[in-house]
Structure 1
Amino acid sequence: MVRLTLDLIAKKSNLKSRKEETTLQYLKKITHINFSAKNIDAIEDLSLCKNLSVLYLYDNCISQITNLNYATNLTHLYLQNNCISCIENLGSLKKLEKLYLGGNYIAVIEGLEGLEGLRELHVESQRLPLGEKLLFDPRTLHSLAKFLSILNISNNNIDDVRDLEILENLNQLIAVDNQLLHVKDLECLLNKLTKLWKMDLNRNPVCLKPKYRDRLILVSKSLGISL
């Protein structure tokens, strides 16, 4: 396995071709780091990368989110398809706009309090134990209520989305391949989410209900529902 370190980042940058720039200068100004699919299993101290705004670490073996508290300018974080079971240590990322955590082992969406810049949250296809479903910490939902606009919760065995009623700014909800069954629950959700214009419910049991789509569109005139 490989640890993401400053030395590793510097080596990848091929600084030999930049004779006029020192390693320290390069690390201080770098804005994008891409170490996807590199067998990374841990993130070490990258505090010199003060201007980092986009970090690609998907398709690795990371089990814990660490050493990102320095990255106060980070806006996009890609951690899909790792081994993460807990959302943690992100509280200082006040500028974070997009967070990608699909394909991990996360059972509860939590630890996102204070991230008032977060606009997109992608937590699809968590590798959960058989019979379990993805849950939401009320504190995190309350914290995201006024800001989150896109939420992807596909393929997580979810059978109830009424907890999401608090997300008043949500305009896109992707909930494909879940266990949503009751039209009435979705009607209640739409009564609360007045800004929602896209809801993807493909391959949910509710799709087999007669005229379910018509009933939901009647509740929200601006809504487009994918069958």
Structure 2
Amino acid sequence: MVRLTVHLIARSSNHSKSRSESLQQYLKKLTHLNFSSKNIEDIDDLSICRNLTVLYLYDNQISQICNLGFASNLTHLYMQNNNISHIENLSSLHKLTKLFLGGNSITVVEGLDELKSLKELHVEGQRLPHGEKLVFDPRSISSISDSLSILNISKNNIDEIWDLTPLKKLTHLFAADNQLQDLQELETVFSQWSELRVLDLSRNPAYHKPKYRDRLTTACKTLEDLDGKQINELSRQFLINWKASRNAKKKTGDEKDIKGQINNPFANGFHMSPQHPRSSTSSQGKPSELGRPGVTFRTDQVGASSIRGQKD
């Protein structure tokens, strides 16, 4: 097993050619360390390298992020294409601005709670178990929401992005080769990101839906590049004006419908029977015949006739 140790660093550096300083002095001054593609499987105690700012460990066999607590000055960490399954042990890296973890076996984006300065996060192309997707811990997303500007989550079977809504400082989102298909969801989330300039959703189901480009162009007012194609500002303004006009016409039509229902409450759901000609009647008499007034009967006369009829 190859371990990254101070002795390995010493043997691989140009320190042996220098006689002006000791190994300890050299390691204390070291700011950049590149051990990519060296079959590294583990990281040993490197605490003497306290001024380290950039660490390249990509294309190795590392399975765990460990022994980096000393690196409080680290700003760039490159650990893509390893065997890492959990994002952990990064809480001391308060100055970290760029984190590269693509091509590992991570299933949950977590462990970022203390990275308040993180500007770039790359977790594309994780080797996920069959049928699983990359998910996001809400606490980590909330913690980096005020700083993160570039996020790469491509090729991770992601089918929704609601959990990313707090990332209102994003300027670049790379989310190609996923399973995103709900255009309404995408419009809702992206419309809240007022600084988004570059967006890549190519090779998602949503990419093939009608009006896909038009809808996202109007939803993202600051977008300059969608799926590798620049957005013409004149075209965007035309689409925005067209959408506003369409919504205004729809609103006017709805208002007319409502007003019509108020003015004619019988228009919907109620139909009067056909009216038949009615003969003229007096308030108390029988229907008139040939225009003559009807004959009025007094109640006392009706009553008397009834009595006489009974006697007869």
Q: What range is the shorter-chain TM-score in? A: over 0.9
Q: CA deviation at 1:221?
A: 2.1
Amino acid aligned to 1:207:
Y
Q: Where does the alignment leave 5 or more consecutive residues of structure 2 unmatched?
A: 229-312
Q: Distance in 2 between matches of 1:80 and 1:146?
A: 24
Contact 2:2 2:42 (C-alpha < 8 Å) held by counterparts: yes
Amino acid aligned to 1:226:
D
Contact 1:107 1:126 (C-alpha < 8 Å) held by counterparts: yes
**Number of residue pairs matched by the alignment:** 227
Q: Deviations over 1:154-179 (max 9, x none)?
A: 00000001111111111110001101
Specify the SS of the correspondent of 2:165.
helix
Q: CA deviation at 1:210?
A: 1.0
Q: CA deviation at 1:14?
A: 3.0
Q: Distance in 2 between matches of 1:67 and 1:51?
A: 15
Amino acid aligned to 2:34:
N
Q: Deviations over 1:111-132 (max 9, x none)?
A: 0001111000000000000110
RMSD: 0.8
* 1:85 matched residue in structure 2: 85
Q: CA deviation at 1:139?
A: 0.4
Q: Where does the alignment leave 5 or more consecutive residues of structure 1 unmatched?
A: none
Identity of aligned residues (%): 59
1:15 matched to 2:23? The reply is no
Contact 1:91 1:112 (C-alpha < 8 Å) held by counterparts: yes
Which is strand-richer, 1 or 2? 1
* TM-score of the aligned structures, taking structure 1 as reference length: 0.98
Runs (4+) off by over 4 Å: none
Give the greater-gyration-radius structure (CA). Answer: 2
Q: CA deviation at 1:193?
A: 1.1
Contact 1:96 1:118 (C-alpha < 8 Å) held by counterparts: yes
* 1:225 matched residue in structure 2: 226
Q: Deviations over 1:32-68 (max 9, x none)?
A: 0000010000001000001100000000000000000
* TM-score of the aligned structures, taking structure 2 as reference length: 0.72
Q: CA deviation at 1:15?
A: 2.1
* 2:104 matched residue in structure 1: 104
Specify the SS of the correspondent of 1:166.
coil
Which is helix-richer, 1 or 2? 2
Specify the SS of the correspondent of 2:115.
coil
